[in-house]
Structure 1
Amino acid sequence: MNIYDKIISTVTSSLILSTMAFSINAEQSVLNISEKSFTNIRKMTPVRHFYVDNLLGNIDDTLAAANAP
């Protein structure tokens, strides 16, 4: 197997796994969002010059995304 075959195999596997993970999360993340879903911005978590929150309660992943370069 040459280098190009390895790259194609790795990228294809990554895309398949990403798609599967997205599909699983999409099915589990059905939310009914209304005005009651939102809180005072000062009660959210500050990140640099903005505030973040996560309606599902997964603030760690939200913070990871917000702090990513």
Structure 2
Amino acid sequence: MRPQRAVRRQPSCTSAPGETWDGAARRWVGERGFDMALTTAWAEAGARFIGGCCRVGPSAIAAMVRVLS
């Protein structure tokens, strides 16, 4: 049996626009919105990679950059 090597993970955060995927209806449901102030909190908590996921487009990513700059 080979010894396992330690894996160092970098803290990261991704944002979603606040909606939830309804698999049965095959659509996004809920209120769309995202608090850009969360990006600052994530950075202060140690996140090194901050980005978007699930329907977060270039304009939202640009807004995150502005908040963090």
Q: Tell me whether the two structures share a fold, i.e. TM-score over 0.5.
A: no
Structure number with the higher helix fraction is 1
Higher relative contact order (CA 8 A, sep 6+): 2
Q: TM-score range with shorter-chain normalisation?
A: under 0.3
Structure number with the higher strand fraction is 2
